[in-house]
Amino acid sequence: MFGYLRVQKGELKVREWEAYKSVYCGLCKQMGKDYSFLTRLSLSYDCTFYAMLLMSLERSCTGFKSGRCKCNPLKKCRYAQCESDSFGKASAFSVISAYYKLKDDLADSGFFKRLAVRLVMPFFSRWHKKAARRYPELEAAVSEMMKMQNEAEQKQDAGLDECAHPTANMLGTVLRLEAEDELRRRVLYEFGYHIGRWIYLIDAADDLEKDIKKQNFNPFKRCGREDLKDYENSVLSQSLARAFDAYNLIDIVDFKGILDNMLLYGFPAKQKEVIYGLQEEENERSV
């Protein structure tokens, strides 16, 4: 995951912002408990969104508890309490995703970055095996995505849709696992698919200049359009619109204000920041 699924802080109520931070801190705590203190470095806003969505679908948040920050004992924070396995799944998803991202970096990065990756890879390999044993369905979805992604990027004529499909299908598959009936499976898959498509394409738009300079693969390099930024914005907005259509069919109760904020304000704001360099001052970089 890449860290693009953010809230728009200025549009949140104070209690919603506090709840969002509590989920973030609860997930951070769970990652340290399940794997290692160092795995907290791979914690992303994307997996926080995943954890919050799971907790909302299962109505599993039982409240909030105050405590000391696990990374900074001098800091007080609140932790969301959860009676389901939402934090466990999100922790595993974060570790599995980070592991495959490191493998990808070994293949595509420069010498010094590869050297840094090789230093941490043995640790993440061990944590990855633990996460994969606990949640084999998550491991299968992410590993299949990496295989499909490599195949798509090797094709000379692969378009945006074909390149974005592996990430889109992966997230759709992961969310579909949470459904108990066919109708809900279809809705959650559709929602996850278009959020995953948006994540892949916004990451490609974000990396475009760097990939052109380093002659790396990027699906937007093949577009050959003079209005490329407007085209990127149009393609990404289409994915968000399709995702929001599916989202409206999901029975969201807990954290609805926060999830609404992310889809209606946070994701579009991040999109404008990446494509046009327009950044909202109140949208803080970190929790």
- pLDDT, residue 114, reads 78
What's the mean pLDDT when you consider all of the chain?
A: 91
Report the pLDDT averaged over residues 7-25.
95
CB atoms within 10 A of CB 215: 8
Whether 282 shows a pLDDT value over 60: the answer reads no
Residues 6+ apart with CB under 8 A from 250: 57, 184, 187, 188, 191
Tell me how many degrees the CA angle 38-43-46 measures, rounded to the nearest 5. Answer: 165
Question: What is residue 286's predicted lDDT score, i.e. its pLDDT?
Answer: 53
Q: pTM of this prediction?
A: 0.92
Decide the pairing of beta strands 61-68 and 76-82: antiparallel
Region 145-159 average pLDDT: 88
Closest CA to 152 of 96, 97, 222: 222
Q: Indicate the pLDDT class of residue 106, thresholds 50, 70 and 90.
A: confident
Tell me the mean pLDDT in the region 35-63: 91
